[in-house]
Chain A
């Protein structure tokens, strides 16, 4: 599904990713952990195509295609989804309008007709129930006045409606209360399938109790310093990052 090779990325002239290599096969869930500032969000943003990043070396292929050559909107239409660490508020842009526009953009890309408005709303309502979101949130502006946890739930709602092939969730668990964490994890798990891949960026092993990953990677100073199975997350929790950084240094 996703293959990242020797990726070097600069931001404002400063190298943040320094030769990152990572492969996420189809149907797998990979967790990416790592200290603050190690480059996790940078990686997520580069994959989604955010401007402002200078890719100085390396390659990323998504389903066999050069991902970096695609415009951000085309990546989304091809099935790449980024759940933002800090979802932006867009007052005045209606939530449900954005959802519908997003779904239709992807459908058009695949040569399909626009969704039927009624069926679409029924689908959105169903997913909202799953995410325990109040229906009134639909008619509000995108994330407008949402609490931190509500914003994260809204990200997952969008993902559930868009059904991406590759979802990258950047700290979607941060800022969630215990119940919300279960709701979000449950939502994410409904999307797990043999055709889809997930990259979970997280600081907390607790999320991985609910969404059990196939692999765990530790990102330190712009590179994958260590990879392992889910037990790596537990070990990290016990021993802290010093254990890995110490080894990496």
Chain B
């Protein structure tokens, strides 16, 4: 299908469902703007440099209308009240709840109160925008004026426009004041409806007032192992001196298509630690754009990605330094097994005004299958002299000496390989400061390694 034909389909599908889309989430005007921007510029293709490794073919088969709207149509009920058609996972099938965290669960991009456990916390307010009056809540409290223009001009963020146009709900998280303890929130997104029904649009807005703190766990899972089609959008605004620790776990179903865009703006002295662990989906692409807008802002972006079988795990990260003395650290550890393709494209742009920028990149890929592919690419675009930028990028196989050492101690080749893969991810995993979450992630990453962690604790 040509790009033009695809854009036309987006327009048609939008026209068909526009009346059913909740205005409190995104105003009709902004939705309209988004589809038009997308139609004007077309959907991405793999001919574009920064989409080269993405599997974009699922787009051709996609139904862009939100799954919940299609389901409501089928049931003959108003879209506003529609619930997903398929049986919901029960609470016990969900990942164990993290202590001290308020959980908000969304099914196919719509808040599910039964599966949530909100909690009062100092300075924290969490709203779901689906049921809010047209424009009111979102316009007054949660508009993130800086986000849309950024998405509009960035070619790598075009898929966010789909979310902007079709969004069905938003987890809007706001932290005010400088409370003693950081607020703790988990947002859990579950994809249930198959891609034949429609798309799931997870959407999160996070804003931190000056000097406030938040630990956010954002988790994406799938139910029923379907061919979900997911298009997520996360907007982050970290105020002056505020601190956000953000864990993102992409654990979509094995046959899912996963596309997401995260856009963040950091004010003066803001600190943002974003740690992503991407293991799910058949075709996955994550796009992250962080703007270091205030002097002294600090970003640590850590990404671990695992691809096996036919999986495609593609990550594009652009960090833009527009203010002086900001610091960026990018760490990527990716493993490609089977016939998987794993790519990380980390770009750091230092604009003229960003004197004193300090950026480091450590990007490493591990090739663990004869037919697997790995690509790690640091890119630097520097428009000022006064910068310190260092980068290291390597892609290679498991170290033979390490492997033999483990075999010589009696470990089986399978266990030895798994252990070394595990060790390879340690630079990212060790940054997870919540023990309970780390255990969950360790468990997901390496089922049998779980007892290694428990043994550690005895010491």
Give the interface of A toward B (CB within 8 A): 48-51, 71-73, 75-77, 81-82, 84, 87-88, 90-94, 96-98, 100-102, 105-106, 109, 117-118, 121, 135, 138-139, 141-142, 158, 162
Contacts and interface: CB of A to CB of B under 8 A. Distances in A.
Contacts of B409: 76, 98, 101-102, 105, 158, 162
A93 B419 contact: yes
A92 B423 contact: yes
A102 B400 CA distance: 18
Contact of B401 (A77, A88, A118): A88
A94 B404 contact: no
A50 B400 CA distance: 10
Nearest to B401: A88
B406 interface: yes
B415 interface: yes
Given A90-B420, A93-B420, A48 B426 contact: no
Given A92-B423, A93-B422, A94-B456, A48 B408 contact: yes
Contacts of A98: 406, 409, 411, 419
Interface residues of B, number: 29
B304 to A, nearest CB: 12
B455 to A, nearest CB: 6
Contacts, number: 96
A93 B420 CA distance: 7
Contacts of B400: 51
Contacts of B402: 88, 90
A117 B426 contact: no
B423 A93 contact: yes
Given A88-B402, A96-B455, A139-B459, A73 B407 contact: yes
Contacts of A142: 405
Given A88-B405, A92-B423, A101-B415, A73 B410 contact: yes
Interface of B: 399-402, 404-413, 415-416, 419-420, 422-427, 452, 455-456, 458-459
Nearest to A125: B459
A119 to B, nearest CB: 12
26 contacts: A48-B408, A50-B408, A51-B400, A73-B407, A76-B408, A77-B410, A81-B408, A82-B408, A91-B423, A92-B424, A92-B425, A92-B426, A93-B419, A93-B423, A96-B456, A97-B419, A97-B452, A105-B410, A109-B410, A117-B455, A121-B458, A121-B459, A135-B459, A139-B459, A141-B426, A158-B409
Contacts of A50: 404, 408
The 4 A-B residue pairs with the shortest CB-CB distance, nearest first, are A92-B423, A92-B426, A76-B410, A105-B410
Given A96-B455, A97-B455, A106 B423 contact: no
Given A84-B405, A93-B420, A73 B455 contact: no
Contacts of A94: 452, 455-456
